[in-house]
Structure 1
Amino acid sequence: MNRSDVLIIGAGPTGLVLGLWLSKLGVRVRIIDKTSAPGTTSRALAVQARTLELYRQLGLADTIVRRGHQIAAANFWVNGKPVAQLPLKRIGEGLTPYAFVEIFPQDEHERLLLERLEDYGVNVERNTSLESFVENADGLTAHLRLPDGEQEVCQACYLAGCDGARSVVRKTLDSGFPGGTYQQVFYVADVRASGPAMNGELHLDLDEADFLAVFPLSGEGRARLIGTVRDERAERADTLAFSDVSRRAIEHLKLHIEDVHWFSTYRVHHRVAEHFRSGRAFLLGDAAHVHSPAGGQGMNTGIGDAINLAWKLAAVLGGGAEPKLLDSYETERIAFARRLVSTTDKVFSFVTAEGRMADMLRMRVAPFLIPKMAAFEASREFLFRTVSQVTLNYRGMPLSQGEAGHVHGGDRLPWVHDGEGDNYEPLRQPCWQVHVYGDTSDEMIAWCHEHHLPLHVFDWRPAFETAGLGRNGFYLLRPDTYVAIAENSADPKVIERYLRDHGIRPYFN
């Protein structure tokens, strides 16, 4: 029987990132997908700053920035005229190396991930589906249906369900998927067009007509339209054509559609699985949580799931941690998913609400408030921090400990880049490491050397204080660059106790 360390069900971005991260860490993976070929169309567009930060560990970030498109501004239209603009260029200045809004469509994203997986000798097995699996003493036994219709029995140490909202893995685990479905029907279309809204920026129509957003794509005259379909048309969503969508919203944005490359309709759901793990099987991405497209969070959250789980699986499989480390995956990711669904639900409901009051808020109040908000750096920074996922943290959770400066255990390490260096450079390696800003003890230096734990000591400078980092303490960083320990002392026994309590031996990595 075929055996792998991790059997991954589903070859969307979540499954591919999981496979790529595990392969980089020396884990044998097998990826199957029921489709015959990679997708050529997609709904997901945005690659958030936090995802790009983590992609540095795979050498992907620079390629995506080069191939993608950065949005300079968001423009809001009412009654056929642009009434407000929110500048987005360098909106996260000083917070991250990727202080912008990056557009890189999911289909192109998947192709890039597939290319990198091939470098590790991993190919997706197409037209192959999971029929069932059972857990046994030392792993899982799965039954697969192959392209020729034959059944294969295979074994794996762990199984990852990255198989979307209709997940076979989730149904097999009998995990509930509470939530609901919005009444609106969405459409998405890739078009070639001309007009003032085709200037490489984001444009949104706030009128009482069907909601419409125009997202620029790389290449002259290319854009992605995302809009709603209301009234009786929503009852026949499965048979709608582009000619059925509201011309009114398109005309309000003064768009001249020259060609429609692709068109599809879909409904938006908001659900979070009751559990993200059962024994040796895990749920990730849309199999674990689905929500509205507000803020471009969906694909990025699935990628975050994959990165969170990958280093933990690699540690357990490689002898660098006890299996109890895997308990933290659900604890950390389900909390974030629930917050995200709640947040995007509020934004989505405001944008798509119907009625006189909702129309007045969108058409009169929002255009008045947006320019005022954009004028304040604090407002722009808050918006960027929220959407970019750089504020995602695991504070108060089992793997998070302590506080030093303004940084808590569980936080993303603040980025500092000035004329004297970049404290994120060591993070390119997905391994446990210690950061010290200022001075440290001889004991710390000796202990880290003895245990083969990378230690990076940065000479103290004002930029570190500005970023909220503590002086002369230390930060123990996880392989996914989140802070495990924030500590004001320079005592390595703090690290020793933490690792012992959690059953982690990072120097095995």
Structure 2
Amino acid sequence: MRSDVLIVGAGPTGLVLALWLTKLGVNVHIVDKTSEPGTTSRALAVQARTLELYRQLDLTDAVVGSGHKVPAVNLWVKGERATRVGFEVIGSDLTPYPFLQIFPQDQHERLLVGRLEALGVRVQRNTELIGFTDEGGRIVARLRGPDGSEESWEASYIAGCDGARSLVRETVGTGFPGGTYRQVFYVADVEASGPSINGELHIDLDEADFLAVFPLAGQGRVRLIGTVRDERADRAETLKFEDVSDRAIQHLKVNIDNVHWFSTYRVHHRVTEQFRVGRAFLLGDAAHIHSPAGGQGMNTGIGDAINLAWKLAAVLAGRAGDALLDSYEAERIGFARRLVATTDRVFSFATAEGRMADIVRTRLAPVLIPAITRFEATREFLFRTVSQITLNYRGCPLSEGSAGHIHGGDRLPWAAVTDHDNFAGLTAIRWQVHVYGNARTELVDWCAGHDLPLHVFDWRPEHEAAGFVRNALYLLRPDTYVALADASGTPEAIGRYCNSRGITF
């Protein structure tokens, strides 16, 4: 009973990790204590960066085709729409996916499970991790199966994708510092009508409690997400939809015809102190949880999985040493800490109490937000941040050099050239080199001799606008981030980079 990697937890994070590893030839065993994929969910948003990465396993079209594109966000005050901010205008030259994609987590999980089964891997359901030991050269875990019997499972590595109450995290003892919001969150999937049921995102600014209407695929289907902090928060377990629906009806003019699902929950803001301990790794909610503001949580867990997958595959195949795995924590923990801090500040500001906070929300915000979003730089900053395309690994161990505005560790910029998409080659999960302009003959020969794909793009003004330097080389990692940016364009730069890190292709 052995696998290269034992994955505990079959939510989106664990499923994506299993998919990427399986595609890279790694033998995985994925277990989950639930009997089936989720039938309800809180996570809705799939950000642009996730859609870009999903091209590697041909998942993007399925997500976009089955979900709902949100073109804009609307802010409401005193029962009227105060302002509207469009997404597509902001990001159309930054990514092929300049929108917010709504694709509920339950549908998302079913898609991932289906793709994993097509590759010959099934989730072992009704199976719980009881404990494990790291014996230096291997992990030995105890699993309890559907019939209550226990078995021993051996793996080279264990990945804790088992959520906020992670047993993997508790076993390695990394801690989970942070706090809990005093508000109780609620979610309700409803059929409704009214001016805010138009396929866009709507947020009410009238009160200190958060309230938003998220569109779902299908006529009149939306999800209400909100908070309560008064005496109702003290009886969260018995809270009913009737206790919170009146505000949505009055403030956002939602006429509710049918309620399909209603649930309440509390939200924490925490980041574990280590993402790696020996042969154990923590990903997704097991490593970081935060306010749902901005729709970042699920996407961040998926980013964890893709970051770790290619590194595990390289080490298991002998193409890199163990030090490569240390870069997982170095790259992901800083981002998680910044994300938790940012969402905490935004949520705390949006839900602040008092007369001054009310004035800021209901009088200043509707005026200031349209004013500042008239500036292209502001719109671009907001879109880059929320869509996660601004996420970079500058200054981390695998990042080196710069050429133009692009540094080692950056996401490769998308150049909107209609007849030669520079993202087309990113469907392959492997190292590759990009040159915009002309590649040196010795670089062409070196790449051919090392079985390293080389993509050369005729120089265009769009490349300069995206920040590229003509004839420079950009070495891309298997997760499509820039590992090395070198203006000289010589193969010796790649050789030095790989030798210093013990990486082969």
Report the TM range for the smaller structure's normalisation. Answer: over 0.9
Aligned to 1:300, what secondary structure does the other structure show?
Answer: helix
Question: Are the counterparts in 2 of residues 89 and 101 from structure 1 also a CA contact under 8 Å?
Answer: no
CA displacement at 1:249 relative to structure 2: 3.7
Q: Distance in 2 between matches of 1:281 and 1:372?
A: 48
CA displacement at 1:444 relative to structure 2: 1.0
Question: Are the counterparts in 2 of residues 212 and 250 from structure 1 also a CA contact under 8 Å?
Answer: no
Q: Does 1:173 align with 2:179?
A: no
Corresponding position of 2:238: 239
| Counterpart amino acid of residue 481 in structure 1 | T
CA displacement at 1:138 relative to structure 2: 2.5
What percentage of aligned pairs have identical amino acids? 69
Moved more, 268-277 or 495-504: 495-504
Aligned to 1:296, what secondary structure does the other structure show?
Answer: coil
Q: Distance in 2 between matches of 1:137 and 1:175?
A: 18
Corresponding position of 2:105: 106
Q: Distance in 1 between matches of 2:262 and 2:132?
A: 36
Question: Are the counterparts in 2 of residues 71 and 89 from structure 1 also a CA contact under 8 Å?
Answer: no
Pick closer, same or farther for the CA change 1:409–1:448 going to 2, 3 Å. Answer: same
Q: Does 1:258 align with 2:257?
A: yes
Q: Distance in 1 between matches of 2:240 and 2:196?
A: 23
Question: Which structure 1 residue ranges, 4+ long, deviate > 4 Å from structure 2?
Answer: none
In the alignment of these two chains, the number of paired residues is: 505
CA displacement at 1:89 relative to structure 2: 3.1
Corresponding position of 1:12: 11
CA displacement at 1:492 relative to structure 2: 1.1
Q: Does 1:427 align with 2:426?
A: yes
CA displacement at 1:331 relative to structure 2: 0.4
Corresponding position of 1:223: 222
Pick closer, same or farther for the CA change 1:209–1:386 going to 2, 3 Å. Answer: closer
Aligned to 1:196, what secondary structure does the other structure show?
Answer: coil
Aligned to 1:219, what secondary structure does the other structure show?
Answer: coil
Q: Distance in 1 between matches of 2:328 and 2:249?
A: 44
Question: Are the counterparts in 1 of residues 48 and 97 from structure 2 also a CA contact under 8 Å?
Answer: yes
1:312-391 matched pairs, under 5 angstroms? 312-391=311-390
1:430-445 matched pairs, under 5 angstroms? 430-445=429-444
Q: Distance in 1 between matches of 2:391 and 2:136?
A: 36
CA displacement at 1:374 relative to structure 2: 3.1
| Counterpart amino acid of residue 379 in structure 2 | R
Aligned to 1:30, what secondary structure does the other structure show?
Answer: strand
Corresponding position of 2:489: 490
Question: Are the counterparts in 2 of residues 416 and 464 from structure 1 also a CA contact under 8 Å?
Answer: yes
Per-residue deviation, residues 348-381 of structure 1 (Å, max 9, x unmatched): 0111111111111110010111221332322221
Pick closer, same or farther for the CA change 1:255–1:483 going to 2, 3 Å. Answer: same
Q: Distance in 2 between matches of 1:245 and 1:318?
A: 54
Question: Are the counterparts in 1 of residues 208 and 353 from structure 2 also a CA contact under 8 Å?
Answer: no
| Counterpart amino acid of residue 272 in structure 2 | A
| Counterpart amino acid of residue 477 in structure 1 | L
RMSD: 1.0
CA displacement at 1:78 relative to structure 2: 1.1
Corresponding position of 1:287: 286
Corresponding position of 2:72: 73
Aligned to 1:417, what secondary structure does the other structure show?
Answer: coil
| Counterpart amino acid of residue 345 in structure 1 | D
Aligned to 1:421, what secondary structure does the other structure show?
Answer: coil
| Counterpart amino acid of residue 397 in structure 2 | P
| Counterpart amino acid of residue 292 in structure 2 | P
Aligned to 1:471, what secondary structure does the other structure show?
Answer: coil
Q: Distance in 2 between matches of 1:309 and 1:171?
A: 20
Question: Are the counterparts in 2 of residues 210 and 246 from structure 1 also a CA contact under 8 Å?
Answer: no
Question: Are the counterparts in 1 of residues 136 and 278 from structure 2 also a CA contact under 8 Å?
Answer: no
Question: Are the counterparts in 2 of residues 409 and 483 from structure 1 also a CA contact under 8 Å?
Answer: yes
1:133-152 matched pairs, under 5 angstroms? 133-152=132-151
Aligned to 1:134, what secondary structure does the other structure show?
Answer: strand
Aligned to 1:418, what secondary structure does the other structure show?
Answer: coil
User: What residue ranges of structure 1 are gaps of 5+ in the alignment?
Assistant: none
| Counterpart amino acid of residue 271 in structure 1 | R
Per-residue deviation, residues 409-460 of structure 1 (Å, max 9, x unmatched): 0000111122331111111101000111112222111111111111111121
Per-residue deviation, residues 313-332 of structure 1 (Å, max 9, x unmatched): 01111121111110100000
Q: Distance in 2 between matches of 1:488 and 1:444?
A: 13
Aligned to 1:481, what secondary structure does the other structure show?
Answer: coil
Moved more, 236-245 or 181-190: 236-245
1:473-484 matched pairs, under 5 angstroms? 473-484=472-483
Corresponding position of 1:466: 465
TM-score after normalising by structure 1: 0.98
Q: Distance in 1 between matches of 2:72 and 2:323?
A: 46
Per-residue deviation, residues 202-221 of structure 1 (Å, max 9, x unmatched): 11111126421000000001
Q: Distance in 2 between matches of 1:416 and 1:111?
A: 33
| Counterpart amino acid of residue 337 in structure 1 | A
Corresponding position of 1:154: 153
Question: Are the counterparts in 2 of residues 322 and 504 from structure 1 also a CA contact under 8 Å?
Answer: yes
User: What residue ranges of structure 2 are gaps of 5+ in the alignment?
Assistant: none
Q: Distance in 1 between matches of 2:162 and 2:246?
A: 36
Question: Are the counterparts in 2 of residues 210 and 249 from structure 1 also a CA contact under 8 Å?
Answer: no
Question: Are the counterparts in 1 of residues 160 and 283 from structure 2 also a CA contact under 8 Å?
Answer: yes
Question: Are the counterparts in 2 of residues 211 and 249 from structure 1 also a CA contact under 8 Å?
Answer: no
Corresponding position of 1:45: 44
